[in-house]
Each structure stands twice: as structure tokens, then as C-alpha cells.
Amino acid sequence: MTRDEFNAHCAAKPATTHVVQWGNADVWKVGGKVFAICGWADDAPAFTFKVTEMAFEILSDMPGLRPAPYLASRGMKWIQHHAAPGLNDTELAQHIDASYEMIAAKLPRKTRTALGL
């Protein structure tokens, strides 16, 4: 997945917002909460997303994936796809979708209603 494809995928999700921060990273949010980040690792895009506890245990050991720097060190279950082989584009998109759903589901009901979720 390219950075442009990542941004297009995230932009297609309902009620998302995009900011560029943290050293030119594309940060995608729903209801003001981050669900996906694309930054750089060794001149290649690095994609970061939230996962379940089980997925964190499985994905952390896969080549090209790692616990997300900063986020995982604080006990959060976030994974970073930073090198090959990692995930294929379909799998990466599915994990980004799941991250969006997890973040959106934890928003207060009033916020979800206001966002049309």
C-alpha cells in the first residue's frame, strides 16, 4: 500500500478527519481519536493501527511488523507495519478498518450520534 492509497482508504471511512503532525505523519482520526497513522521508516511508509490483544500477540512476531513505537511502550495495543514482507494490501486495509471500528465503538454515544455513526 502506498501512502496515497492509505490516505484514500482512510478518507473513505465515515466521519474521519486528517491532520499532518509528528514529523510529517498522516494521522487519521474519528471523533478526535486516532485510528491510523502513516509515517516513515527507513524511507518507506510505516503504517500504524490499533489491534485487539490477540492480534497484538500474533502480529508482533511477524516479519515486517512490530509493536508501534511510543504507543505500544505505553501499554497500548498498536502495531506498526514497517518493512517487507509484513501484510499484503488487503490484510493491511482490513486491520485499518478494524482499528477504525474499535475506536469508533468506544466513542461516547452522543459523539457517535453527532457523527452519524
Amino acid 20 reads V
Pairing relationship of beta strands 65-67 and 16-21 according to DSSP bridges: unpaired
Q: Examine the pLDDT at 70 and tell me if it is beyond 90.
A: no
Q: Examine the pLDDT at 78 and tell me if it is beyond 80.
A: yes
Confidence at residue 48, expressed as pLDDT on a 0 to 100 scale: 96
SS3 content of the chain, % helix, strand, coil (to 5): 35, 30, 35
Domains of the chain: 3-108 (3.90.1150.30)
Per-residue pLDDT band at 10 (split at 50, 70, 90): very high
Confidence at residue 41, expressed as pLDDT on a 0 to 100 scale: 67
> Nine-digit cell at 47?
503504517
For 39, list phi and psi in degrees, rounded to 5: -125, -150
